[in-house]
Chain A
Amino acid sequence: MTKPVQAINRYKADLREMFFLLFEQFRVNEVLGKAPYEAWGEEEVKTTLQEVYRWVREVTGPLNVVGDTHGCKLEGGRVITPPGFKDAWKQLYEAGWNSIGVSPDYGGAGSPAAVQALVLELLAGSNAAFAMYPGLAHGAAEVIQHFGTPEQKKLYCERMYSGKWGGTMCLTEPHAGTDVGSAKTTAKKNADGSYTITGTKIFISGGDHDLAENVIHLVLARVDGAPAGTKGLTLFIVPRVRTSEDGTLGQTNDVAVGALEHKMGINGSATCVLVFGENEKCVGWPVGGEEKINQGMAQMFKMMNTARIAVGVQGFAVASTAYLNALEYARERKQGSSITHWKDATAPRVPIMQHADVRRMLLDMKARVEGLRALAVKLAFHQDQVRVHSGKDEAQVAYHQGQVDLLVPLVKSYGSDQGFRVCETAIQTYGGAGYTRDYPVEQYCRDAKIFSIYEGTNHIQAMDLVGRKLGQAGGANLQSFLGDVAKFVAAHSGHATLGPAVKALGAAQEAVGGSAMRLLMWFQSGQLALVPLAANRFLEMMSELTVAWLLLQGAVIAEEARAKVDAAHPDHAFYTGKVQAALYFTRNVLPGVTHKAELMGAEDKTAIDIPDAAFATV
Chain B
Amino acid sequence: MKILVPLKRVADPDNANKVKVNGGKLETTGLEWKPNPFDEYAVETALRLTENGTNPKARQGEVVVVTFGPKDTETTLRAALATGADRAIRVDAADDALDGDLVARALKALVEKEKPDLVLLGKQAVDGDSNQVGQLLAEYLGWPQATFAGSIQSEDDKSLVVGREVDGGTLKVRVTLPAVVSVDLRIVAPNSVRGKHTPPTHAYADGVRFAALMAIMAAKKKPLAEVKLADLASDTALKIKYTGFELPPARKAGIKVKAVSELVDKLKNEAKVV
Contact = CB atoms under 8 A, between A and B. Distances in A.
B210 A570 contact: no
Contacts of A41: 220
8 contacts: A43-B220, A51-B82, A58-B207, A94-B212, A96-B212, A96-B213, A97-B213, A568-B27
A569 interface: yes
A90 to B, nearest CB: 11
Interface in B192-215: 207, 210-214
A202 B183 CA distance: 55
The 5 closest A-B pairs by CB, nearest first: A96-B213, A569-B30, A570-B30, A570-B17, A95-B212
A40 B27 CA distance: 33
A6 interface: no
Contact of A48 (B16, B17, B213, B220): B213
A15 B18 CA distance: 18
Given A47-B78, A569-B29, A570-B30, A54 B210 contact: yes
B16 A570 contact: yes
Contact of A96 (B30, B75, B214, B219): B214
A566 interface: yes
Q: Which of B30, B212, B213 gathers the greatest number of chain A CB atoms within 10 Å? A: B213
A95 B29 contact: no
A47 B16 contact: no
Contacts of A43: 75, 78, 220
Q: Which of A39, A40, A41, A44 gathers the greatest number of chain B CB atoms within 10 Å? A: A44
A276 interface: no
B220 A44 contact: yes
B216 interface: yes
B216 A47 contact: yes
Contacts of B214: 96, 109
A43 B218 CA distance: 12
A100 interface: yes
A571 B216 contact: no
A391 B213 CA distance: 29
B20 interface: yes
Interface of A is mostly: helix
Given A44-B217, A47-B82, A571 B212 contact: no
B82 A39 contact: no
Contacts of B82: 47, 51
A51 B216 contact: yes
A568 B216 contact: no
A111 B79 CA distance: 19
Interface in A34-59: 39-41, 43-44, 47-48, 51, 54-55, 58
Given A43-B75, A570-B17, A48 B216 contact: yes
Given A39-B217, A55-B210, A95-B210, 10 more contacts: A41-B220, A44-B216, A47-B75, A47-B79, A51-B82, A51-B210, A58-B207, A95-B212, A568-B29, A569-B29
A410 B75 CA distance: 38
A566 B29 contact: yes
B20 A568 contact: yes
Nearest to A41: B220
Nearest to B207: A58
Interface residues of A, number: 24
Interface of B: 16-17, 20, 27, 29-30, 75, 78-79, 82, 207, 210-214, 216-217, 219-220
A516 to B, nearest CB: 42
Contacts of B219: 47
Interface in A560-606: 566, 568-571
A51 B220 contact: no
A467 B63 CA distance: 61
A566 B31 CA distance: 13
B78 A571 contact: no
Contacts of B30: 568-571
A571 B220 CA distance: 28
Contacts of A570: 16-17, 30
Contacts of A94: 212
Contact of A47 (B17, B27, B207, B211): B211
Nearest to B15: A570
Q: Which of B30, B214, B217 gathers the greatest number of chain A CB atoms within 10 Å? A: B217
B211 A51 contact: yes
Interface string A83-99: 00000000100111101
A96 B30 CA distance: 31
A77 B174 CA distance: 56
A570 B27 CA distance: 12
Nearest to A52: B213
Contacts of B211: 47, 51, 95
A460 to B, nearest CB: 35
Contacts of B220: 41, 43-44
B97 to A, nearest CB: 23
Interface string A267-287: 000000000000000000000
A47 B76 CA distance: 10
A478 to B, nearest CB: 38
Contacts of B16: 570
Interface in A49-84: 51, 54-55, 58
Contacts of B213: 48, 95-97, 99-100, 109
Interface string A602-614: 0000000000000
A570 B220 CA distance: 29
A1 B170 CA distance: 42
Contacts of B20: 568
A51 B208 CA distance: 12
B241 to A, nearest CB: 26
Q: Which of B16, B29, B216 gathers the greatest number of chain A CB atoms within 10 Å? A: B216
A568 B213 CA distance: 35
Contacts of A58: 207
A109 B219 CA distance: 14
B138 to A, nearest CB: 32
A340 B5 CA distance: 57
Contacts of B79: 47
Contacts of B17: 570
A569 B29 CA distance: 6
A41 B217 CA distance: 9
B40 to A, nearest CB: 11
Contacts of A48: 213, 216
Contacts of A91: 210
B205 to A, nearest CB: 8
A18 to B, nearest CB: 14
Contacts of A55: 210
Interface in A5-26: none
Nearest to A95: B212
A58 B208 CA distance: 11
A569 B30 CA distance: 5
B237 to A, nearest CB: 31
A162 to B, nearest CB: 12
A94 B211 CA distance: 10
Contacts of A97: 213
B217 to A, nearest CB: 6
A55 to B, nearest CB: 5
Contacts of B216: 44, 47-48, 51
Contacts of B29: 566, 568-569
Contacts of B207: 58
A571 B32 CA distance: 11
Nearest to A43: B78
A568 B78 CA distance: 29
